[in-house]
Amino acid sequence: MPGNIMDNRCTLYISSCDKYSDLWEPFFKLFMKYWPDCPYPIVLVSETKTFSYPGLDIQCPRFYEPDEPSPWGERNIRTLESIDSQFIFFMLDDFFIFQPVNQPFMDRSLDWMQNDPMIGKFQWRVGARIRAPNKYAPYGVEYLTGTVRVCAFPAIWRRDLLIRSILPHENPWQWEREGTERSKLWPENLYSSYSYPIKYPWGGALWKGKWNPRGVNVLKMNDISVSIYPRGYANTGNGKLPLDQEIDALMAQWNRSRQTVPAAQRPERIRREISRTLARAANPVPRRRNTAAVRPKPPRPARQRMRRQPPSTAVRPRPPRPARRRFAKPRRIR
């Protein structure tokens, strides 16, 4: 970053694609707010698009023409080979920073990796299966039986190891799945920690191409406005959105229908749904069980036990012993 002392040991590597270019503006707004003294060169990886932001020197290498196919694995390998830094700080474009970055912790991690060539990566991930932290606390070595030893969570990688972990034909999901199996043969140790020097919405701001409500809340807290549609909200797992986001989604759908659909064909169902949602927000009523409609269960019949007959005390007569059959002795012939 201009005006700061640059640390060329590491490069901030942001993996993205053209269809996620709408995330770059809010990403770097938050980046400038919470990490203004980033000492690392910045590389934004995409297919054909480029991006610039005031106060940041963002490099956007291009290796493909607009109509030329560019697989994720091959694109990242070619970009990593063009970087001179020894270490790579790997991030995705939807990891919106919402707290100041712990720069001393980052510098200490780089010093450890520089002094110990057997450290393959330092990653920050909740749920990693690690041994008890040793001299590199709070980092611990990941077990070989871990199911996600290679993943796209923020991490500091050794550049040559990151290149070896990717195959040209792979997409990000194949890289995580197949790279985890290949990592069991690497001589380097992979370290993870539950302490995060960089805070971002868990799981990223997008889930399967749709907005994660946590990411939208981060943007709202920082007064950054984005267009929710056409992406829409992702299902957070409980099947419903928070009430304020549900109202926003319905209002946006209603406004869009007013602009594109004639008045005679506007869906009244959306208007009624908005009114019901607003009424529910103004007068929340706890859901009660309708006991009148519940039919009483019939009484359960008593269980009949089979009584065991007591053993008989009468002496049973002994059955007669079969008669022993006798054979005549053979005559002796003189």
Cβ-proximal residues to 72 (8 Å cutoff; 6+ apart), any chain: 17, 170, 171, 172, 175
Which pLDDT score is estimated for 68?
Answer: 81
Which pLDDT score is estimated for 132?
Answer: 81
The domain limits of the chain are: 10-193, 226-279
Mean pLDDT of the chain: 81
Greater model confidence, 275 or 255 = 275
Which pLDDT score is estimated for 149?
Answer: 92
Which pLDDT score is estimated for 100?
Answer: 93
In this structure, which CATH number among 3.20.20.480, 3.20.20.140, 3.50.50.60, 3.90.550.10 belongs to the domain 10-193?
3.90.550.10
Which pLDDT score is estimated for 59?
Answer: 93
Fill in the amino acid letter for 333. I
Given a cut of 90, is residue 209 above it in pLDDT?
A: no
Task: Quote the CA–CA distance of 111 and 191 in Å, as a whole number.
Answer: 14
Residue 239's pLDDT band (cuts 50, 70, 90): very low
Which pLDDT score is estimated for 146?
Answer: 85
Mean pLDDT to the nearest integer, 160-182: 93
Greater model confidence, 182 or 314 = 182
Given a cut of 50, is residue 238 above it in pLDDT?
A: no
Residue 67's pLDDT band (cuts 50, 70, 90): confident
Which pLDDT score is estimated for 286?
Answer: 59
User: 10-15 and 189-193 as β-strands: parallel, antiparallel, unpaired?
Assistant: unpaired
* pLDDT tens digits, one per residue of 34-51: 999 999 999 999 998 999
Given a cut of 90, is residue 163 above it in pLDDT?
A: yes
Q: Output DSSP code: residue 202.
A: T
Partners of residue 107 on adjacent β-strands: none
Residue 58's pLDDT band (cuts 50, 70, 90): very high
Given a cut of 70, is residue 234 above it in pLDDT?
A: yes
Task: Quote the CA–CA distance of 260 and 256 in Å, as a whole number.
Answer: 6
Query: Virtual CA dihedral for 111, 159, 156, 102, nearest 10 degrees?
Result: 60
* pLDDT tens digits, one per residue of 96-134: 999 999 999 999 999 999 999 999 999 998 778 888 877
Counting residues of the chain whose pLDDT is more than 70, the rounded percentage is 73
Which pLDDT score is estimated for 91?
Answer: 94
pTM of the model: 0.69
Mean pLDDT to the nearest integer, 189-196: 90
Cβ-proximal residues to 296 (8 Å cutoff; 6+ apart), any chain: none
Which pLDDT score is estimated for 216?
Answer: 86
Mean pLDDT to the nearest integer, 69-85: 92
